[in-house]
Amino acid sequence: MECVKICPLEAISKSGKTIEICGKKMKIADVDYEKCSKCKNGVLPDMYYEKAKPDRIAALCARTCLVHLEKHKRINNLFEIGFRQRNVWKIDKHGEIIGQKNENFKSKNKGKGV
């Protein structure tokens, strides 16, 4: 799972866990939300309930998942221009910024504000 690999705080376990919703069993990642609440990569506190899990929808892990699904055409709603257009960077557990090259970067999109 790409989210496990990219997470700078090792908050997502590789083994995962199984949950059951309406009789259907699903394997999901086991996430340490305490670590996520300290993450500096796009996580926000829940805006409605102080004690809720952190909002990770815009976090590095969620963005990386989206890019992976897009790259492997695992989603049907693909856009002409890919979601990620710039080089990837993250802030590690020591507060250092780490950069990665974006393989999908297309120079034709440069300067289009995407």
Which residues bind to ligand SF4, rule: CB under 6 A?
7, 9, 11-12, 31, 35-36, 39, 41, 43, 56, 59-61
Helices (H) then strands (E): counts for the chain: 3, 4
Q: In this structure, which amino acid lies at residue 32? A: D
Partnered with residue 19 across adjacent β-strands are 26
Q: How far is the CB of 13 from ligand SF4 (least distance, A)?
A: 10
Q: How far is the CB of 80 from ligand SF4 (least distance, A)?
A: 28
Partnered with residue 12 across adjacent β-strands are 31
Q: How far is the CB of 23 from ligand SF4 (least distance, A)?
A: 28
